Amino acid sequence: MAPHAETGVGSMNGYSTYEAQTPKDLFTVNSPNVKYSDDHIESKYVYRTTAVTKGPNGKYTASPKETTYDFKVDRKVPKVGMMLVGWGGNNGSTVTAGILANRRGLTWETREGPRASNYYGSVIMGSTIKLGTEVETGEEINVPFHDVLPMVHPNDIVIGGWDISSMNIAAAMDRAQVLEPTLKAQVYKEMASMKPLPSIYYPDFIAANQEDRADNVLPGSKACMAHVEQIRTDMKNFKTENSLDKVIVLWTANTERYADIIPGVNDTAENLLKAIEQGHEEVSPSTVFSVACILDNVPFINGSPQNTFVPGAIKLAEKYGSFIGGDDFKSGQTKMKSALVDFLITAGIKLTSIASYNHLGNNDGKNLSSQKQFRSKEISKSNVVDDMVAANSVLYKKDEHPDHTVVIKYMPAVGDNKRALDEYYAEIFMGGHQTISIFNVCEDSLLASPLIIDLVLVAEMMTRISWKTESAAEYKGFHSVLSILSYMLKAPLTPPGTPVVNALAKQRSALTNIFRACIGLQPESDMTLEHKLF
């Protein structure tokens, strides 16, 4: 356990007093298609795609297509609260400590020397995008991703949430065994004043080995409207007590088993609400949280692999115009897989086998030692190559797919330092073979915590972006299913009837170019013709 000493700011109601950071414009766009006011950035954007038709002779005709959209971005950066379901878990306690440390600019000693707080691993806070090319020198100008649009700074986020365990967040941080004692000592007092709200606990949905943690639960062991209403009350109280403009809720609790999709129970919005009212046993805790958030128009993101968003939940979100996103944080092994498989297949190399083995010792691993919960994770990890394989009809015939297996074992000794071993076996030129073996040690919660921040920042940003076609009279928001979050998620949720994109480069490109469109800039083509044509 860390020594419980602390220096720094005081706290009130369990949340740090802190002066919010004021965003500043790093650049402006000089274009007749972009207008700036005190309240908004308005842009006119020509979206260029290629429409393809297949003729009776089997030949394709490709036709360039242009659609003009108007985007409007609210420039006022709100005060935002992040409520975590499973706040007392490894991810929740780690991201809380990380935000507090960054807020106060903390440094701490380790056996390898001093370390300073940072947001490494966050695409929004730790990466850049190309703005353009400097006129006189031809130098490529890159700007921090966070400065492309007026975004919330993670240091300004107020944190709260629920947990089935009554431990305060400092004690939970000790239990997680993720952070250095010298860092924990500096945030301990502040985090000790943070206590999770009682959560809902339906034993059938998580592993039986989690029962000893469940000492902070609402009455009732199956879905009910009382649970929905309590969650809604908790969110309203949190918003009021902390003078917040918005709340974002994110599930970082245990992986649940998959819920069966049953006609008349969870297939429509009306049936799902009725199933909750009647206490149907096939409604999961995460779905109950999602319904509460949808009814209050609070964005809800699922960071675990289960099918939280049953068809009825998606239809309910569409009905209320509420944002949802998921599923399952894409942090270590799967992020490597989605990048490497994309690279190999686009290089014309035919993958025939992918074997992924993991062992880990944190509570996530303990929960996944139950077969039903493991099956949820197996599905989210196994589908990440599907779109890349389907896109290459040269290498793969219809319905052909690489062999793909995923194994996860619980090994308490390794704690949060997950070991991931992957073997990629491929066919190459003239009957040859290539084998790539990767041993990846992933500090699980230190990879997942920046993803939590990214998901919250992007989801909040999407609440301030509206669009319309050139001929439409009124602006509207994006579709309720936030597929723009796909870069951070293993099993991206997409609007019904739309393709799932798992290729990492495409996901990053979509995120980047939607942000660029909001300020009237075309995608960077990387053709660099200005350097090639003389």
The rounded distance, in Å, linking the Cα atoms of 246 and 259 is 30
Query: Please, are residues 24 and 153 in contact by the beta-carbon 8 Å criterion?
Result: no
- In the chain, the number of structural domains is 2
Task: Establish if 56 belongs to a structural domain.
Answer: no
Per-residue model confidence as pLDDT tens digits over 366-398: 777 777 776 766 676 667 888 899 999 999 998
Strand order through the sheet with 300-302: 197-198, 158-163, 80-85, 246-251, 300-302, 324-326
Residues 339 and 467 grouped into a single domain? no
β-strands 158-163, 197-198 pairing: parallel
Q: In the prediction, which pLDDT does 23 show?
A: 55
CB burial string 75-101: b at 16+ within 10 A, e below: eebeebbbbbbbbbbbbbbbbbbbbbb
Q: In the prediction, which pLDDT does 534 show?
A: 64
Task: Establish if 382 belongs to a structural domain.
Answer: yes
The rounded distance, in Å, linking the Cα atoms of 111 and 129 is 35
Half-sphere exposure in the Cβ direction for 258 (13 Å, CA): 12
The rounded distance, in Å, linking the Cα atoms of 255 and 328 is 9
Residues 316 and 343 grouped into a single domain? no
Task: Establish if 11 belongs to a structural domain.
Answer: no
Residues 165 and 298 grouped into a single domain? yes
The rounded distance, in Å, linking the Cα atoms of 427 and 450 is 36
Beta bridge partners of 487: none
Q: In the prediction, which pLDDT does 362 show?
A: 81
Residues belonging to the chain: 534
Q: In the prediction, which pLDDT does 533 show?
A: 73
Catalytic residue among 315, 377, 416, 454: 377
Task: Establish if 15 belongs to a structural domain.
Answer: no
Residues 365 and 314 grouped into a single domain? no
| Domain-ending residue, one of 401, 419, 444 | 444
Q: In the prediction, which pLDDT does 162 show?
A: 98
Task: Establish if 308 belongs to a structural domain.
Answer: yes
Residues 369 and 469 grouped into a single domain? no
State the CATH number of the domain containing residue 431: 3.30.360.10
The rounded distance, in Å, linking the Cα atoms of 289 and 309 is 11
Residues 272 and 343 grouped into a single domain? no
The rounded distance, in Å, linking the Cα atoms of 21 and 409 is 43
Half-sphere exposure in the Cβ direction for 312 (13 Å, CA): 24
Residues 203 and 150 grouped into a single domain? yes
Catalytic residue among 156, 418, 444, 454: 418
Query: Please, are residues 4 and 187 in contact by the beta-carbon 8 Å criterion?
Result: no
Q: Is 418 a catalytic residue?
A: yes
C-alpha distances (whole Å) from 423 to each of 3, 208, 346, 403, 500 are 43, 32, 19, 11, 25
Residues 496 and 415 grouped into a single domain? no
Segments of the chain scoring below 70 in pLDDT: 1-24, 374, 376-378, 380-382, 534
Q: Is 490 a catalytic residue?
A: yes
Residues 423 and 482 grouped into a single domain? no
Helix, strand, coil proportions of the chain in percent (round to 5)? Answer: 35, 25, 40
Decide: residue 115, CB within 10 A, 0-12 exposed, 13-18 middle, 19+ buried: middle
Q: In the prediction, which pLDDT does 17 show?
A: 40
Residues 138 and 186 grouped into a single domain? yes
Q: Is 35 a catalytic residue?
A: no
Max CA separation in the chain (angstroms): 77
Beta bridge partners of 68: 46
Task: Establish if 61 belongs to a structural domain.
Answer: no
Q: Is 239 a catalytic residue?
A: no
Q: What are phi and psi of 515, to 5 degrees?
A: -65, -40
Q: In the prediction, which pLDDT does 352 show?
A: 96
Query: Please, are residues 96 and 169 in contact by the beta-carbon 8 Å criterion?
Result: yes
Task: Establish if 52 belongs to a structural domain.
Answer: no
Residues 184 and 264 grouped into a single domain? yes
Q: In the prediction, which pLDDT does 210 show?
A: 84
Q: What is the CA radius of gyration of the chain?
A: 24
Residues whose CB falls within 8 Å of the CB of residue 284, separated by 6 or more in sequence, listed in order? 202, 205, 223, 256, 257, 259, 306, 308
The letter for the amino acid at 167 is M
Task: Establish if 70 belongs to a structural domain.
Answer: no
SS (H, E, C) 138-192: CCEEEEEHHHCCCCCCHHHCEEEEEECCCCCHHHHHHHHCCCCHHHHHHHHHHHH
Per-residue model confidence as pLDDT tens digits over 498-524: 988 988 999 999 999 999 999 999 998
Structural domain boundaries enclosing 417: 333-444
Catalytic residue among 156, 163, 296, 328: 328
The rounded distance, in Å, linking the Cα atoms of 505 and 343 is 9
State the CATH number of the domain containing residue 191: 3.40.50.720
The rounded distance, in Å, linking the Cα atoms of 277 and 284 is 13
The rounded distance, in Å, linking the Cα atoms of 491 and 92 is 21
Catalytic residue among 246, 335, 350, 490: 490
Per-residue model confidence as pLDDT tens digits over 16-53: 344 555 556 889 999 999 999 999 999 999 999 999 99
